[in-house]
Amino acid sequence: MAESPKMVHAPIVTYVSMLALLTLCPPFVILLWYTMVHADGSVVQTWNYLNQQGLQGFKDLWPTPTVIACKIIASFAAFEAFLQLFLPGKRVEGPISPMGNRPVYKANGMAAYAVTLVTYISLWWFGVFNPAIVYDHLGEIFSALIFGSFVFCILLYIKGHLAPSSADSGSSGNAIIDFYWGMELYPRIGKNFDIKVFTNCRFGMMSWAVLAVTYCIKQYEENGRVADSMLVNTILMLVYVTKFFWWEAGYWNTMDIAHDRAGFYICWDAWFGSIYLHFSWMYLVNHPVELGTPLALFILAAGLLCIYINYDCDRQRQEFRRTNGKCLIWGKAPSKIVASYKTDNGETKASLLLTSGWWGLARHFHYVPEILSSFFWTVPALFVHGLPYFYVVYLTILLVDRAKRDDDRCRSKYGKYWKLYCDKVPYRIVPGIY
């Protein structure tokens, strides 16, 4: 079996951060959930509780995964898997992998998104299922997801060893790293069921929208109305997720899918990163902040603008690559670098690097509107507590790290051509600053 190049020489800091993430994150998620739902969003209140009750208090607040929580997760997962497999969609080819393979996908994300939302809201409207139940069992659901994600990643690990789906797989020789980073780039069940598309898009991203609707319904059921803060949050989230599924085939060209393997890291990012995202909603469910129309509209407009700019950055890059540079960027012919590189099996290929438009401002400028949009869908919770902003901080750290990882990867892939790009576009994320 091939060795996995990115894992073999992992520095000690990688091991330390990896073990910290594996062991500290699950209890951390539970503590944050407890604070948002049961301690009014107040870290001090949670701290006092733990101080008084000690370890036993922590054990008591950890929700046990219940049958109903497992049923909710299993029904959602099965429904999404069914839609992924059976809804019609255009055939789309992904980028060439390091081993020279080209994965093929069915682009039916937008259809799956529409069917999911219509089904979920209809179930509530016609009294078949009340989404407020999901909110009431949220702690148990998170707890079940924590245990479930470990089991799922162990299965991925075993599959990577025994039945890899393609030559884009391999072991570092270290079981913990294989579990953490993953072994396969494109694991599939059969020929058509892509596991990463399922975890990241159809389970992960889809849950962002489904949970946003859930919080709205819960607040409506509790108060007989939905506060403007909750409406702004939810509209921004639904627009963001709509943008994501509109562009899903483009996502299959990004680092998550084309470079990061399927392991604990990516599952954690896809499932639990999204839990952090929901803290502002959890807070708003029990604290229906009224912003007033002018402020609500201002936040909504600013959030929509950021989501649009982020979308346009991704669109520019993809349009540029799709047309082989024969497109207009901000009304002009694009400026570009033709960068050649070698695949792992020795073939020479070339990629185009766009050096104008958004991609001429900074090498990862698109992370700026991404971070700002997360700020705008958090700010309706106002500034009474800092914890709803946890996701903004988490995302900033994640994207700064991601920009560095991507730069390192591109530098080793394109060598002197990447240096040319860096000379032409010297800033990594924020023009003039970083």
Where on the chain is the footprint of ligand NDP (CB under 6 A)? 95, 254-256, 273, 310, 314, 317, 351, 353-354, 359, 364, 366-367, 370, 395, 402, 406, 410, 413
Of 168, 167, 202, which is closest to residue 185 (Cα–Cα)?
A: 168
Give 49 or 271: the residue with its C-beta nearer to ligand NDP. 271
Which residues, 6+ apart, have CB-to-CB distance to 356 below 8 Å? Answer: 329, 330, 332, 334, 335, 336
Give 42 or 396: the residue with its C-beta nearer to ligand NDP. 396
Q: Least distance from C-beta 131 to ligand NDP, angstroms? A: 23
Strand partners, 178: none
Give 225 or 404: the residue with its C-beta nearer to ligand NDP. 404
Residue 236 and residue 307: Cα distance in Å, rounded? 8
Residue 124 and residue 7: Cα distance in Å, rounded? 47
Ranges of H-type helices in 194-287: 195-196, 206-223, 228-246, 248-251, 255-258, 264-267, 273-277, 279-286
Query: Which single residue is written with the structure tokens 């003039």?
Result: 432
Give 62 or 341: the residue with its C-beta nearer to ligand NDP. 341
Give 217 or 399: the residue with its C-beta nearer to ligand NDP. 399
Give 1 or 255: the residue with its C-beta nearer to ligand NDP. 255
| 3-class secondary-structure state, position 3 | strand
Of 313, 317, 326, 321, which is closest to residue 351 (Cα–Cα)?
A: 321
Q: Least distance from C-beta 405 to ligand NDP, angstroms? A: 9
**Structure-token pair, residue 168:** 């884009």
Residue 178 and residue 73: Cα distance in Å, rounded? 26
Q: Least distance from C-beta 273 to ligand NDP, angstroms? A: 5
**Structure-token pair, residue 203:** 């389970």
Give 64 or 324: the residue with its C-beta nearer to ligand NDP. 324
Q: Least distance from C-beta 2 to ligand NDP, angstroms? A: 19
CB-nearest residue to ligand NDP: 254
Q: Least distance from C-beta 237 to ligand NDP, angstroms? A: 11
Q: Least distance from C-beta 395 to ligand NDP, angstroms? A: 6
Question: Is the CB of residue 84 less than 8 Å from the CB of residue 204?
Answer: no
Q: Least distance from C-beta 366 to ligand NDP, angstroms? A: 5
Question: Is the CB of residue 133 less than 8 Å from the CB of residue 66?
Answer: no
Of 42, 70, 279, 261, which is closest to residue 169 (Cα–Cα)?
A: 261
Residue 272 and residue 114: Cα distance in Å, rounded? 23
Give 171 or 280: the residue with its C-beta nearer to ligand NDP. 280
Question: Is the CB of residue 218 less than 8 Å from the CB of residue 135?
Answer: yes
Give 40 or 312: the residue with its C-beta nearer to ligand NDP. 312
Q: Least distance from C-beta 274 to ligand NDP, angstroms? A: 8
Amino acid at 154: I
Backbone angles phi, psi at 56, to 5 degrees: -60, -40
Q: Least distance from C-beta 114 to ligand NDP, angstroms? A: 21
Amino acid at 224: G
